[in-house]
Chains A and B, each alone.
Chain A
């Protein structure tokens, strides 16, 4: 299994932590993982992206030029990266923020109104990104839900562990959404 993912959005939407959670979850499953951020003179509200590789074998190059999956949380990210996705690859769109269709005809696209779902079902839009992450893991089976939860325990400081149930709920909403989409 080799899964190369680019996650992109505005700074503050949580793309970096989504990527790190995936990498940690891969590590939990003793897979080979790498995570690399875009870095630059960036700020809150600017664009941010990271590349994550989860593989059964050693990761040769951490730089991803043709992702299997692209996860975009805002419109500039869709426009910037959609032409790079592997032919027939997967595209997860945060339709709460993106109101244009993909220009690619060959991709498996799932649109997720993450903010609306998070508000309506959980009353908290800050876990929007976790809904999308849940959909991703269901569609690709790159890592299990339990591994992501395990990763959360490692990534979050102890005093934030009270947020894990909320994150789990958000992930599960994503999983259900993905199941229904198939």
Chain B
């Protein structure tokens, strides 16, 4: 198929339909409205169902129901709307049902604003609702990658019977870029023998997240944890000029694109900079990050938050390299110029530090 120009939100909608998603339940909120707009128009064309629910809470529980019945189903929202959905997301995770949830982040906390942010990182990767659970979290950085990851998201959701979150932001949702969709693939979706499809002729299936017996609930939790451990092999990341990088920038989504521009400008000025971009935020690509930072004297996270990704980067580097933060919030976006200044400041403060033996 030829390249077309699409907004990130529209590309997510189209990719969802191509991935076999036939059900969408949501409630409007900027900056993700083009997703429901696109799906409202195009889902009925393929026999799908679009419902604008009366609230986010209703929407996520409709997702819960459709997922339990074995459907490919998704919802999308932003900041405050995602917060409202957390109870339902926890139920879906506990009941081990597959679905895709899109969060086009906007500035918080509270009602916040409608401009881009990345301040829902913790909420996305650490659970978000109550209880010990995890979502698989994917963070695209371009319209093309949004399209590509959408299909992957549905497949991962089915494979692990777990909600998958696509974590974007207002920039990615609103911007237009060229995108090419793969030729229509034969969608071979996994069998879902656990789904509540009508028990005629078989044992009834039960979708449930209530375990009143503590021993049972502990067993269920341990089972979930084993599943999250199994997800570790799903790590995705991108390295950019990290092989000899003495300063590694780390960022995801739109921040990573800004950081990439900074790497190029820093290289022109003779600074050995590189970029590590986690694409899966849970599971976090720990080994790849360590490898990318093997020559690093300093690591700088660039994020639209006041320090969320930076904590995971420190933790995953096991505190062996100094990790700094450059963050803007509230809908303000880091500029390449300001990040470059921070890079230069770190490099200047770093003179006299010996290069790692394996990086000479």
Contact = CB atoms under 8 A, between A and B. Distances in A.
Contacts of B258: 60-61, 63
B179 to A, nearest CB: 10
A7 to B, nearest CB: 14
Interface in A64-83: 65-66
B5 interface: yes
Interface in B155-202: 170-171, 174-178
B3 interface: yes
Across the A-B interface, give the 10 residue pairs with the lowest CB-CB distance, nearest first.
Answer: A60-B261, A36-B175, A35-B176, A60-B260, A61-B261, A61-B258, A65-B335, A61-B257, A62-B175, A34-B177
Contact of B176 (A23, A65, A66): A23
Given A20-B5, A61-B336, A65-B337, 12 more contacts: A27-B178, A32-B178, A33-B5, A33-B177, A34-B177, A39-B31, A39-B114, A39-B174, A40-B114, A41-B114, A62-B254, A66-B337
B181 to A, nearest CB: 15
A24 B333 CA distance: 26
Contacts of B171: 36, 62-63
A37 to B, nearest CB: 6
A59 interface: yes
Interface string A132-158: 000000000000000000000000000
Interface residues of A, number: 20
Contacts, number: 59
Contacts of B176: 20, 23, 34-36
Interface string B319-331: 0000000000000
B30 A35 contact: no
A36 B257 contact: no
B261 to A, nearest CB: 4
A133 B175 CA distance: 21
Contacts of A65: 335-337
A15 B232 CA distance: 46
Contact of A27 (B5, B174, B335): B5
Contacts of A35: 5, 175-177
- Among B176, B264, B335, B336, max chain A CB count under 10 A is at B176
Contacts of B114: 39-41
B261 A24 contact: no
B290 interface: no
B115 interface: yes
Contacts of B170: 39
A20 B30 CA distance: 21
16 contacts: A27-B3, A27-B178, A33-B178, A34-B175, A34-B176, A37-B174, A39-B30, A39-B31, A39-B170, A59-B257, A61-B258, A61-B336, A62-B257, A63-B171, A63-B258, A65-B335
A59 B5 CA distance: 14
Contact of A59 (B3, B177, B335): B177
A32 B337 CA distance: 22
Contacts of A24: 5
A43 B258 CA distance: 29
Interface in A19-48: 20, 23-24, 27, 32-37, 39-41
A40 B333 CA distance: 15
Contacts of B257: 59-62
Interface string B250-272: 00001001101100100000000
B340 to A, nearest CB: 11
A61 B260 CA distance: 8
Nearest to A30: B3
A29 to B, nearest CB: 12
A162 B255 CA distance: 43
B253 to A, nearest CB: 12
A72 B115 CA distance: 23
Contacts of A60: 257-258, 260-261, 264
A66 B338 CA distance: 12
Interface-central residue, A61, A62, A63, by most chain B CB under 10 Å: A61
A32 B170 CA distance: 21
Contacts of B264: 60
Q: Looking at B178, B254, B258, B337, which has the most chain A CB atoms within 10 Å of its CB?
A: B178
Contacts of B261: 60-61
Contacts of A62: 171, 175, 177, 254, 257
A113 to B, nearest CB: 30
Interface in B201-258: 254, 257-258
B277 to A, nearest CB: 12
Nearest to A57: B264
Nearest to B174: A39
B260 A36 contact: no
Nearest to A63: B333
Contacts of A27: 3, 5, 178
Contacts of B335: 63, 65
